[in-house]
A and B are shown apart, each in its own frame.
Chain A
Amino acid sequence: MDKIKKLTKQQLFLPFFCLLIVLLINLIKSPTFFNIGIQHGVLYGRIIDILNRGSEIAILAVGQTLVVAVSAGTDISVGSVMSLSACGTCMMLAGYGVNSTTHLAVPMGVGILFGIFLGGLCGAMNGALVAKLKIQPMVATLILFTAARAVGLLLCNNQITYIRYEPYKYLGNFIPGCPIPTAIFVTIAVIAVVSIFLKKTALGLYIQSAGINSRAARIAGINSALICFVCYVICGLCAGIAGMVASSRIYSADSNNIGLNYELDAILAVALGGNSLGGGKFNLAGSVIGAYTIQAITTTLLAMGVSTDQAPVVKAIIVVIIVVVQAPTFKEWIANNEAKRKALRAEGGQQA
């Protein structure tokens, strides 16, 4: 009993539990959901789909978690920045104004680094506005939310730029000879690098202190503004990497649609992970689980063939339930009820 209580008290318990419930519904509905096979030398199955398709949101959620923790606000520009990075890369690779190309203008690595650099640059701009000028995060990132997509469109000369060059497809699909989707490796790499960075340096602690009370942290000798700036840059870099994956999947830069509404999913992932949107303490693993929960819901709805006009409603209901279950007020209410019941039982026992 104590062990169960200890388990349920863990911060990660609820996010994980929600993900399990979503998967359990699938198990009951159709066990074939969990079939994983090898087809044409690559892994094939719905679980692989969830891990593969959830990559972008998971990568975004990593950056978003840090931003939420340090500034008690959200970076709503990540989806647009994804699009800008993708456009930047495709523009570099194809050359300005080229609609479709089979050979690259610059080496692929240069193009991809340029895209990720653009993401970092956007992050730096957001970071400077929030950390130095103390503008509210939502207002500061609103600028790039509107502008980044338009700048991307200009970079691509108002067209969808196609890179029909086989290796460019590897990042979002498969590397020949490797059965696991490349996006999964990218996600693992991003999570690993960020968590090692947080664990091996004092950055994690600094982020929490700056997020809980930035003035107190500054008095204690932490450069709050710098910490905040760094978090936004990391978030921008994550958006850049997610943009690369999304662009590689369709081997093009579709500036109107890449990363569309992803900022909302990223914020939702942070919330589903049991992180407070009020900043301070944070849990990276929770956010990542949250991201895969969102993808699991999407994949489930597709697998069950829920008609498209109803799918958003079903998704909203599931999300509402998950958020309510995790809300502190709801937890308190459950705890109170239990205490009352216990008290009643104790009373009943005395009377008897």
Chain B
Amino acid sequence: MKKKVLSAIIAAAMSVTMLAGCGSQESAPADTTAQTPDEAPAADGAPAADGEMITVGFAQVGHESDWRTASTNSIQAALSKENGIDLQFVDCDNDSAEQLEAVRNFIEQDVDYIVIDPIVSTGWDTVLTEADDAGIPVIVIDRTIDDSDKYVSWVGSEFTNEGLAAGAWLKAYAEAKGIKELNILEITGTTGSSAEIGRTKGFHQYVDSEGWNLLDSQTGDFTQDGGQKVMESYCKSYSGKFNVVICQNDNEAFGAIDAMKAAGVSYGVDGDVIVISFDACTAGLQMVLDKEINADFQCNPLQGPDCLKIIQALGAGQTVDKQTFMAEPWYVSEDILKEITYKNNSGTDVTEPLVVVDAATVEAAY
């Protein structure tokens, strides 16, 4: 009897969680319909005209951050009915087994294209071979797949370039402001994540070559609470000895700024400490506008338009590049530097403009 009651409860609990899952999936497309009016002009309507809908299956990581939600919305807005695409969206809730299952389902349903944001970078060879055998092109976005090359293209950000750009900006900024000595405190992201590895690698190239003094580097786990905790400790250990804080995402920067405020350290454009951040979400850009963050290096979550371009190119029988790096603007709060020049991760010298944040930029951010 007891066992029956127990199993009934567990079953009930499971169905509740499942319902919760469904709920979030249903609510997302509702958002898209609300957004489509702005995106509609982008539609070229050609495939829709012959009444043939292209079917695309999209296996997303989950919905753990604003960034991910922006990515989901971007894909749903671009691969829309107006653009002649019937999108099947699966939110995999950070469960890699579920994601493999979702991709297999797409293959069984014989969709025209599959878009994957891989939760893990390995274990893909078998299922991608199955997709290849079925003749379904696979497009990978954001995170990478390391153990298979049976996908047609990858769309995402180059984290190392973000780190390099931050270094190049800091060098130019210090020169422009006449700051001789840079004492840097670093708050990194979750140890081992690709964003943490890339941003650290890029920025440290400048630390090493310019001989800057990196006082300490601790992880804030990409959270506001983490950034606050680490900065609280930094303010005590290195009181008055630092003039740069670099946080690897906006949430950490919010926490670090709160901690500096509490410790009475002056920061930002008119303060003693230069604050650098990555991601550039709306709230982050608002702080750049308020002159609390000096520079914010965007990690672009809007893969949708690039995905659509690839699908249209493949549909027209053209070949596509194996890798597409998305355009990533660098946001600053002062209008003293126009652009930065650096050697990017693939070894070419690039000169990129700096965008001075105004109210319109904040409005347009994700």
Contact = CB atoms under 8 A, between A and B. Distances in A.
A299 B233 contact: yes
Contacts of B219: 308
A308 B255 contact: no
Interface in A196-249: 246, 249
A158 interface: yes
A252 B224 contact: yes
A246 B223 CA distance: 12
A257 B191 CA distance: 16
A100 B66 CA distance: 13
A49 B225 contact: no
Given A135-B6, A143-B10, A49 B264 contact: no
A257 B229 contact: no
Nearest to B64: A256
A162 interface: yes
Interface in A131-153: 133-135, 139, 143, 146-147, 150-151, 153
Contacts of A309: 191
A49 B232 CA distance: 8
A49 B233 contact: yes
Given A100-B283, A249-B225, A308-B219, A133 B191 contact: no
A147 B23 contact: no
B224 A305 contact: no
A53 B217 CA distance: 21
A147 B225 contact: no
A302 interface: yes
B6 A147 contact: no
Nearest to B237: A303
Interface stretch (A3-11, A37-45, A104-112, A270-278): A37-45
Given A158-B24, A303-B237, A308 B10 contact: no
A154 interface: yes
Interface in B143-199: 188, 191
B263 interface: yes
Contacts of B20: 147, 150-151, 154
A46 B236 contact: yes
A350 B216 CA distance: 62
Interface in B253-276: 254-255, 258, 262-264
A307 interface: yes
B191 A250 contact: no
Nearest to A159: B66
B25 to A, nearest CB: 11
Contacts, number: 94
A173 B224 contact: no
A51 interface: no
Interface in B1-18: 2, 5-6, 9-10, 13, 16-17
A129 B9 contact: yes
A100 B254 CA distance: 14
A263 interface: no
Contacts of A254: 223-225, 251
A133 B218 contact: no
Contacts of A45: 236
A160 interface: yes
A150 B191 CA distance: 25
A147 B17 contact: yes
B69 A303 contact: no
Contacts of A307: 217-218
A134 B65 contact: no
Q: Which of B5, B237, B258 has the most CB of A within 10 A?
A: B237
Give the interface residue-count category, chain A.
Answer: 35 or more
B298 interface: no
Contact of B263 (A39, A146, A160, A305): A39
Nearest to A40: B264
Contacts of B201: none
B7 to A, nearest CB: 11
Interface in A26-43: 39-40, 42
B288 interface: no
B286 to A, nearest CB: 9
A143 B283 CA distance: 34
B230 interface: yes
A39 B240 CA distance: 14
Contacts of A154: 20, 23-24
Contacts of B229: 53, 302
Nearest to B91: A158
B66 A257 contact: no
Nearest to B16: A147
A100 B362 CA distance: 14
Contacts of A147: 13, 16-17, 20
A246 B264 CA distance: 22
Contacts of A303: 233, 236-237
Nearest to B215: A305
Contacts of B24: 153-154, 158
Contact of A250 (B17, B66, B218, B228): B228
A328 B357 CA distance: 63
Contacts of A174: 262
Contacts of B237: 303, 305
Contacts of B13: 143, 147
B2 A133 contact: yes
B279 interface: no
Nearest to B261: A40
Given A146-B17, A147-B20, A303-B237, A44 B263 contact: yes
A198 B119 CA distance: 48
B138 to A, nearest CB: 27
A39 B221 contact: no
B218 A302 contact: yes
A130 to B, nearest CB: 12
B228 A308 contact: no
Given A133-B5, A134-B2, 6 more contacts: A39-B263, A46-B236, A158-B69, A160-B66, A250-B228, A308-B218
The 3 A-B pairs with the shortest beta carbon distances in the complex, nearest first, are: A308-B219, A302-B233, A250-B224
15 contacts: A39-B264, A40-B264, A49-B233, A147-B20, A158-B69, A159-B66, A160-B65, A256-B64, A256-B65, A257-B221, A258-B225, A303-B236, A305-B216, A308-B191, A308-B219
